[in-house]
Chains A and B, each alone.
Chain A
Amino acid sequence: MTMRVDNHPVLGKQTDRKQVTIYFNGKPYEAYEGDTVASAMLAQGIYALRQHEVSGKERGIYCNIGHCYECRVKLEKRKVVRACITPIYNGMEIGSLTGFDERGE
């Protein structure tokens, strides 16, 4: 079951997009070319991209225009990027910054 909108009232049917796989905390997720990390994860029903450093509360997309940094995630072990404005590519490895350990429990 995916939350993805396949038939949009305005944009019409979303058919001709190539499917790719991205990894979040080690788990594979299905995504499509042209998605951002945030929208791909949201389509897979993953809302929590990180946990608040102090309170541990789960945080995810808030402004979705690259303004508030709530959706910051680790990219490929060294970089920290905003999920809402980072386009995906095949085999992309995303990790949440704090809270979830490497195995993604």
Chain B
Amino acid sequence: MTAEKTIVCRCEEVTLGTIQDTVQTYCCSSREVKLRTRAGMGYCGGRTCRHVIDRVVAEITKEPIKDEVQLSYRSPIRPATFAVLGGGKHDNES
């Protein structure tokens, strides 16, 4: 079954099979898939898999993807060290 080997969320290593099962058993939105499987919660902040999750969920639940953002962008939108968060010297890289 290739779905089990297809990685959707690289940061958290969540496979397509896991996401499909989650949507089928709980018939949930992509936000709930994110909360249940951590897909989209990784280091990259969902940049890589956000749209894939939306598409997979829409394909199974047959509901069109809504206009507003389903998997919201959470701060810090870019990884930040505690030095930066603590008001230390700020440079463009974490």
If the complex has contacts A68-B47, A68-B48, A72-B43, are A79 and B94 also in contact, measured as CB distance less than 8 A?
Answer: yes
**Which positions 11-61 of chain B face chain A at CB distance < 8 Å?**
11, 13, 43-44, 47-48
Interchain CA distance A98-B79 in the complex, whole Å = 17
Interchain CA distance A54-B94 in the complex, whole Å = 22
Interface string of A67-85 (1 = CB under 8 A from B): 1111010010001111000
Residues of B within 8 A of A75 (CB): 93
Interchain CA distance A69-B44 in the complex, whole Å = 6
**Which positions 77-105 of chain A face chain B at CB distance < 8 Å?**
79-82, 86
Interchain CA distance A75-B94 in the complex, whole Å = 10
Contact at A80–B10, with CB atoms within 8 Å?
no
Q: Specify the main secondary structure of chain B where it touches its partner.
A: loop
Number of interface residues, chain A, beta carbon within 8 A: 18
Contact of B79 among A54, A63, A80 (CB under 8 A): A80
**Which positions 13-61 of chain A face chain B at CB distance < 8 Å?**
52, 54-55, 57, 59
Residues of A within 8 A of B79 (CB): 69, 80
Contact at A68–B13, with CB atoms within 8 Å?
no
If the complex has contacts A54-B13, A62-B10, A80-B81, are A86 and B93 also in contact, measured as CB distance less than 8 A?
Answer: yes
If the complex has contacts A80-B79, A80-B94, A81-B93, are A67 and B13 also in contact, measured as CB distance less than 8 A?
Answer: no
In the complex, besides A67-B48, A68-B48, 20 extra interface pairs with C-beta distance below 8 angstroms are: A55-B13, A57-B13, A59-B10, A62-B10, A63-B48, A67-B47, A68-B10, A69-B11, A69-B43, A70-B10, A75-B93, A79-B81, A79-B93, A79-B94, A80-B79, A80-B93, A80-B94, A81-B93, A81-B94, A86-B93
